[in-house]
């Protein structure tokens, strides 16, 4: 009769692991094994059988947690059963913040499930450092690493979490983060104006603009603006500015632009 003495997951070297790992079932009298019962799943194909070991790929089962593993011979005799702990694969389902500057430093919370055995998070393939603390099964907070841009203004990348159960797969755009280059103002037309005047602002990377601000050095006021693509927008000079030398700044997820000189008229 077959007797199982130990279960060893070759990835973890313990009796716990995830679906897709290779499991070695060690024991005696295993040479006539024709099937392995792994929890609620029966495996009959892909078995490597010797008299002292049966190897197989751990199947997917409906629920994670402790399952019983046994083998059955060609005479339909079933061995003793030993416990194996099946670790769930992580699933990432959303993020709290979807964009930030290429310099990194944006605080992001990743939401999902099965995070407690987490070992790391990557953003666009770059590891987050320091490694975040995985104290919750459903969320983890981290700071984005710096990013080298591939596109001129916006790079959108995947966020993934790795746990003892594997690495979370991409989930459409739900677990992505967009790095934005810093916007730049190159010219103003006109470069002087007063309350209510319409100013054309030319530049680069004016994508998803969050604010256009006029400053007189002491006071800063937000302006109404209209976008005309990534290279141009118009803004209305806000009330309250003191006449004299001033500046205009455009802000996106990439941060604030350069302060472009603007003369405030009476």
**Across 244-254, average pLDDT:** 98
To the nearest whole number, what is the mean pLDDT of the chain? 96
In the chain, where are the structural domains located?
3-86, 91-180, 184-264
**Which pLDDT value is given to residue 250?**
98
Tens of pLDDT, residues 174-229: 999 999 999 999 999 999 999 999 999 999 999 999 999 999 999 999 999 999 99
Assign 3-class secondary structure to the chain: CCEEEEEEECCCCCCEECCCCEEEEEEECCCCEEEEEECCEEECCCCEECCCEEEEECCCCCCCEEEEEEEEECCCCECCCEEEEECCCCEEEEECCCEEECCCCCEEEEEEECCCCEEEEEECCEECCCCCCCCCCCEEEEECCCCCCCCCCEEEEEEEEEECCEECCCCCCCCEEEEECCCEEEEEECCEECCCCEEEEEEECCCCCCEEEEECCCCEEECCEEECCCCEEEEECCCCCCCEEEEEEEEECCEECCCEEEEECC
- What architecture (CATH level 2) is domain 184-264? Sandwich (2.60)
CATH superfamily to which 91-180 belongs:
Immunoglobulins (2.60.40.10)
Name, of 60-69, 111-120, 162-171, 233-242, the range with top average pLDDT.
233-242
Answering whether pTM is above 0.85, one says: no
Tens of pLDDT, residues 54-80: 999 999 876 778 999 999 999 999 999
- What architecture (CATH level 2) is domain 3-86? Sandwich (2.60)
Would the CATH topology of 3-86 be identical to that of 91-180? yes
């Amino acid at each position: 009769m077959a007797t199982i003495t130990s279960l060893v997951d070759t990835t973890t070297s313990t009796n716990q692991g995830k679906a897709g790992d290779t499991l070695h079932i060690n024991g005696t009298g295993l040479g006539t094994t024709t099937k392995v019962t792994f929890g609620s799943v029966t495996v009959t194909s892909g078995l490597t059988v010797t008299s002292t070991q049966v190897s197989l790929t751990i199947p997917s089962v409906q629920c994670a947690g402790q399952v019983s593993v046994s083998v059955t011979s060609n005479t339909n005799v079933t061995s003793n059963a030993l416990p194996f702990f099946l670790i769930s694969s992580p699933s990432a389902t959303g993020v709290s913040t979807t964009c930030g500057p290429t310099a990194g430093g944006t605080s992001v919370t990743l939401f999902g499930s099965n995070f407690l055995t987490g070992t790391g998070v990557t953003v666009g393939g770059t590891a987050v450092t320091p490694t975040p603390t995985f104290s919750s099964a459903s969320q983890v907070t981290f700071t984005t690493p710096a990013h080298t841009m591939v596109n001129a203004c916006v790079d959108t990348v995947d966020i993934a979490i790795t746990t003892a159960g594997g690495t979370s797969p991409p989930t459409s755009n739900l677990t992505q983060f967009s790095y934005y280059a810093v916007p730049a103002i190159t010219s103003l037309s006109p470069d002087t104006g007063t309350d209510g005047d319409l100013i054309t602002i030319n530049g680069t990377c004016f994508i998803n603009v969050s604010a256009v601000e006029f400053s007189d050095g002491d006071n800063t006021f937000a302006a109404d603006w209209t976008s005309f693509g990534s290279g141009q927008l118009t803004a209305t000079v806000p009330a309250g500015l003191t006449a004299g030398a001033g500046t205009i700044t455009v802000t996106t997820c990439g941060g604030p632009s350069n302060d472009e000189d603007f003369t405030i008229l009476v």
